[in-house]
Amino acid sequence: MRRVAWALLSATLLRAESPQVKRGAEIFRTTCSVAYCHGANGTAGRAPQLTGRAFKAGDVFALVMYGRAGTSMPGFAKQLKSEDVEAVAQYVVSLSGPAPAEAAKPGAREIPASVREGKALFFDAVRMGGCGKCHELEERGSAVGTDLSTLAPERFRNLRAIPATRIVTAKPADEEPFPGLIVEQSADTVRVHDLSSSLPVLRTFQPAQVHITPGGAWSHADAVQNYSDAELEAISGYLVWLVQTKP
């Protein structure tokens, strides 16, 4: 019990201390919490309350960037830099408190102590470029990049040297080009993950509105640069364990 309390406390301190979350709080205070909208600290206002809800950083990022059609939630892509929107997203996620305990999820696998740290690092919610922001595993994270649960363990040996083989450049009609990963490309729809920020956003276009060319200015090494070698090794350990013990 005491260990659980300690874990919760340190998770709270960690969130409170992150400079990105602090900056997000500041931007939130000046941009989003006007009395009419989300209230101070996301607690009141006429728009939905933001505290105590289980948000994913990527979803919040997309919502703040592009707004929600059919509601009075506007997009801030023109007003705020994408780093600032990311900071706000991390802050909003921090309002929802620590993720529910592992044991509470039905079907969650018993995890050995030796790979627990790697798993925590993989899903680190506060870190820029956390793996879980682009990879979904064990029903957590966002499914932007490759499904890692299907790979052979050798693929996790060098996490700094992952080739970008499927990256494209997408150039929408009235916007700057961005590096992307195609999700769907058919006669009437192009769906592409926009990788220009560390919280990728899924965008949908009509084929005539966007020009796609192979290759793009994106590198996986940049995406994971905020992890140390020791941390990447711990993450490797978790991934190898995961694919080797797959039911």
- Total of chain residues touching ligand HEC, rule CB under 6 A: 28
Q: Using the rule CB under 6 A, is 129 a contact of ligand HEC?
A: yes
Interface region with ligand HEC, contact rule CB under 6 A, candidates 27-35, 72-80, 99-107, 157-165: 157-165
Residues contacting 156, CB < 8 A, separation 6+: 148, 235, 236, 239, 240, 243
Per CB under 6 A, contacts with ligand HEC among 85-124 are none
Pattern 177-216, ligand HEC, x by CB under 6 A = ----x-------------x--x-x----------------
- Cβ 95 vs Cβ 44: under 8 Å: no
List the strands of the sheet with 201-205, edge to edge.
201-205, 190-194, 178-185, 167-172, 210-214
Among the listed residues 176, 240, 242, the one whose alpha carbon sits nearest the alpha carbon of residue 210: 176
Three-class DSSP category at 2? helix
Among 61, 91, 156, 241, binds ligand HEC (CB under 6 A): 156
Q: Using the rule CB under 6 A, is 155 a contact of ligand HEC?
A: yes
- Cβ 86 vs Cβ 36: under 8 Å: no
Q: What residues make contact with ligand HEC under the rule CB under 6 A?
A: 129, 131, 133-135, 144-146, 148, 151, 155-156, 159, 162, 164-167, 181, 195, 198, 200, 220, 223-224, 227, 232, 235
